[in-house]
Amino acid sequence: MRSHLKKYFIILILLLSATFSQGQKVGLVLSGGGAAGSAHVGVLKALEKNNIPIDYITGTSIGALVGGFYAAGYSPDEIEQIITSTEFRNAAMGIIDEEHSFFFNKSDANAGFVSLNFNLDSTFEANIPTNFVSSNSIDFGLMSLLSTANAVAKSNFDSLMIPFRCLAANVSKRQQEVLKSGDLATSIRASMTYPFYLPPINIEGDLMFDGGLYNNFPTDVLCKEFQPDFIIASNVASKIEDPTADNLLSQIKNLLIERSEFKIDCAKGIIIEADVDDIATFSFYENEAAIERGYNATMEMMDSIKLLIPVRRPVSMVTKKRSNFCKKKPSLIFEDIELEGLHPNQKKYIKQGLTIDSTTFTGGQLATAYSKLVSNEKIKSIYPEATYLEETGKFKIKLKTTKEKSFQATFGGVIATKPFSTGFFQLDYQRLEATGLKASGNIYFGNFYNSAQGKIKWDIPFDIPISLESQFTINKYDFFNGFSTFVEEDDRPFILTSERYWESILALPVLHKGKITFGASYHWQENEYYQDDNFQRGDTVDITNFEGISTKAAYELNSLNRKMYANKGTRFNFSLRYVDGKELTVPGSKSGLKGKHNNELDWITLNMTFEKYLFNRSNFQLGTFLQGIYSDLPFFQNYTATLLNSPVFAPLPENLTIFQVQYRSRSFIGGGLKAIYSIRDHLDFRLEAYIYQPYEEFIENPDGTTRLGKEVINRDYIGTFTAVYQTRIGPLALSLNYFDDAKTELSFLVHFGYILFNKKGLE
């Protein structure tokens, strides 16, 4: 009898122990720490693989992002795929994927690399930029990935797959804010709003920043909110060093950030600290390494974790729970758009620009329309917030729109070891009402190139939007008197070209990446030159003036990722131009031709250019370039004047700065290949080779006139090896260029900035 009672007693003890054990809860704390916080994903992978349960999650900053994804039903592998993707890295670094931008909204490329937006009626403080990168891609991505989970939870974070809390710094009230309900995407975005890097988020009238400012290791919040039995904490936050007199960043950190205690004193717990001190705050190229280190650090402590926490939860059980939660997620289908923060006329402009015709639309359709809007330079930001409508089973999207400031000043140019260093300044004024208006003026200044341009552009958002543009441009090129601080150029031709032109353009978009333009212009041109290099002081130059009209029709497609040294995307241009005008040439003292020469000239030029880059998701890219031009350009009075007005093959930036006879003819085909090896999208090594084949060369007669050579006889080559480092403001490039049939065939060039100029009148 006693033996039976003893047996029953033991069984009862075991059952009670098991019940007590199963009733114990485990909370997970994920610290802030920037890109190093990718290690949290490795922690999740290791814990789930070893059947360690996670009943609650609290996170700050990057910890809120990783923890929020997990709480929303994403598996560790799915989270890893998200944060190691190129799209995530670009969004986190404020890089806008050109594949998603609306080409029709883009302005012509210029040499600018730093811009400042401001309003004249605002104080100086209000015009200081509040963030370094755009958050539009981050904002839309979070909305797309988290809105369906928020719908299942009915905006209550306790009802997510895992009950969840994230922290933000409420700077309006100067206190930490524990976010436990509301829009999940907005809450996480608030928690990861690093000061000066991303713009702050407004929640219920309060301005929110990164939760790590006030609490970067929220174990106390986990204990207060959930009262867990055990805590596992993943800490990747580096300790704040004491400020020093010569370190501004350390001073700002100590002013803004409260020091956190990296310890657990409210429950039994263990802290996992992955070795990620070498990963900088914004070094999102290290995400894969951080994940691996987080996983390894957790596995090294797994025996201690299992000894501390007796509870186990099989992966199959977690997977089933995740699957059941995700099955409840509605499809991301929208049926209504609400615009906030705009005048009624401005709302009309934005709504017409959305070009969503159906009453319901998918997340993909909204992404296309959203990217079109945020690529509009009159819009500073559009924050998307999705609300689930239970009665219809669809979502309403609210777009909180912020207009860009009315004025923008842009500075830039290029500094080079060749004689074409140039400064650049542009001032823009833009106005957004029922239509969009932009007025701009720019100047380039240097010894080689000087230019001034005034432009006005009117955007009209019809069902098919159009833009009307009118501009006046002055261009001057001096191929002789330019000089360099570093290297002097010898044997340069004496050629000075200047032009003025007035052009009006009508443009229409073609799908997302293309546009059609129709233009008409009036053109004045003056060229001063000697027809050879053998001239002396006192000799007079030849002068050729040309005045006339031009009309043009063009189709252009452009998804290149950079305005110089692109390595992704496609560019295609097809244009037809007609020119009609009058030439007046006055021979100089060195000319074999005497007397003024007047001549009526007209011609057409047909131009096709194609550029494409392949293997965009690997470190190696292969680029192709092809250009074909047909023209029936007539001869000007002399050989040099004919060359100055003929089409030119210029595949390299340096080609634009040199007068090269061998790459000029009225009809030609040119093309080449580009082999590019990229390191982290910042450093490119480029090996490029091109061939230029004129249909008929221009040949100079003994008297200085021009004739055509035989068809397809001679050809010339161009080659380059270039190393390019893409800084935040512009490219730093070192190149060794080869130009066939030149006086100096090898050219060494170092430059910082953009070798870009205002368009020529007959380009």
Same domain, 231 and 90: yes
For 94-147, the pLDDT digits (tens) are 776 666 677 888 889 999 999 999 888 766 666 666 677 888 899 999 999 999
Establish if 102 belongs to a structural domain. no
Res 757 pLDDT > 60: yes
- The whole-number pLDDT of residue 11 equals 47
**Secondary structure of 316-345 as H, E, C letters:** HHHHHHHHHHHHCCCCCEEEEEEEECCCHH
Same domain, 75 and 186: yes
Report the C-alpha gap between 625 and 519 in whole angstroms: 26
Last residue of a domain, one of 327, 355, 387: 327
Same domain (yes/no): 356, 457: no
What CATH number is given to the structural domain containing 243?
3.40.1090.10
How far is the C-alpha of 112 from the C-alpha of 448, rounded, in Å?
A: 18
Residue 299 shares a structural domain with residue 270: yes
Domain count across the chain = 3
| CA-based R_g, the chain, Å | 32
Q: pLDDT tens digits for 204-230?
A: 989 999 988 899 999 999 999 999 999
> What are phi and psi for residue 50, nearest 5 degrees?
-100, 20
Q: Are residues 374 and 232 in the same domain?
A: no
Residues 467 and 516: their CA atoms lie apart, in Å, by 11
pLDDT value of position 247: 66
For residues 461 and 345, the answer to whether their CB atoms sit within 8 Å is no
Query: What is the pLDDT confidence band of residue 256, given thresholds at 50, 70 and 90?
Result: low
Q: Which of 139, 91, 69 is nearest to 399 (CA)?
A: 139
Query: In terms of domains, do 282 and 424 share one?
Result: no
Beta bridge partners of 474: 452, 500
Identify the sign of the CA torsion 527, 531, 533, 539: negative
Q: Retrieve residue 685's tokens.
A: 């090594």
Distance CA 699, CA 676 (A): 37
What is the predicted pLDDT for the residue at 491? 54
Residue 385 maps to a domain: yes
Q: What is the pLDDT of residue 606?
A: 98
Asked if 450 and 484 sit in the same domain, the reply is: yes
Average pLDDT of the chain to the nearest whole number: 88
Contact 297, 261 (CB under 8 A): no
Look at the alpha carbons of 414, 417, 418, 419 in this order and tell me if their dihedral is positive or negative.
positive
Nearest-angstrom CA–CA distance, 396 and 381: 19
* 392 lies in the same domain as 432: no
Q: What is the pLDDT of residue 487?
A: 42
Q: What is the CATH number of the domain that holds 354?
A: 3.10.20.310
Euclidean distance between CA atoms 56 and 215, whole angstroms:
18
Residue 304 reports pLDDT greater than 60: yes
Query: Which CATH number goes with the domain that contains 534?
Result: 2.40.160.50
Q: 673 with 624: CB under 8 angstroms? A: yes
The pTM of the full predicted model, rounded to 2 decimals, is: 0.86
- pLDDT at position 481 is 67
For 4, 186, 495, the CA distances from 481, given in Å and listed in that order, are: 110, 58, 9
**Cα 599 from chain centre:** 49
345 plus 310 within the same structural domain: no
Phi, psi of 82 (to 5 degrees): -65, -55
Check pLDDT > 60 for residue 488.
Answer: no
Q: What is the rounded distance in angstroms from the CA atom of residue 588 to the CA atom of residue 40?
A: 76
- 593: in domain: yes
Instruction: Let me know if residue 492 belongs to a domain.
Output: yes
How far is 653 from 674, CA to CA, in rounded Å? 14
Domain boundary among the residues 403, 421, 438 is at 403
Q: Beta-carbon neighbour count of residue 73 at 10 Å?
A: 24
- Which residue has better confidence, 490 or 721? 721
Q: Strand locations in 155-228, DSSP E?
A: 164-170, 175-179, 201-203, 206-210
Question: Do 176 and 32 share a structural domain?
Answer: yes
**Interatomic CA distance for residues 519 and 539, integer angstroms:** 40
pLDDT one-digit tens code per residue, 366-405: 888 888 888 888 888 899 999 999 999 999 999 998 888 8
Residue 678 lies in a domain: yes
Maximum alpha-carbon separation in the chain? 136
Question: Looking at the domain assignment, is residue 124 inside a domain?
Answer: no
Lowest mean pLDDT among 121-125, 233-237, 657-661, 747-751: 121-125
Asked, for residue 760, whether it belongs to a domain, the answer is no
Give residue 134's pLDDT. 84
Confidence of residue 87 (pLDDT cuts 50, 70, 90): confident
pLDDT of 320-334, one tens digit each?
Answer: 999 999 999 999 999
**pLDDT of res. 348:** 73
Predicted confidence (pLDDT) per residue in 431-482, tens digit: 988 888 999 999 999 999 999 999 999 998 887 889 999 999 999 999 886 5
Both 391 and 420 in one domain: the answer is no
Q: 204 and 240 in contact (C-beta within 8 Å)?
A: no
Whole-Å CA distances, 423 to 414, 420, 426: 7, 10, 11
**Does the structure show a pLDDT above 90 at 740?**
yes
Quick one: pLDDT at residue 640?
93
Both 484 and 567 in one domain: the answer is yes
Sign of the torsion angle spanned by Cα atoms 130, 131, 132, 136: negative
Percent of the chain clearing pLDDT 70 (strictly above): 90
Q: Is residue 110 part of a domain?
A: no
Residue numbers of the domain that contains 248:
24-96+134-327
The pLDDT tens digits of the residues spanning 580-596 come to 999 999 998 878 788 88
Q: What is the tens place of the pLDDT at every residue in 523-538?
A: 999 999 988 777 777 7
- How high is the pLDDT of residue 10? 45
Question: Per-residue pLDDT averaged across 225-246, rounded?
Answer: 83
**Residues 597-603, mean pLDDT to the nearest whole number:** 94
Q: State which of 403, 419, 450 marks the end of a domain.
A: 403
pLDDT at 19 exceeding the cut of 50:
no
- For residue 12, the model assigns a pLDDT of 44
Is the per-residue pLDDT at 347 higher than 80? no
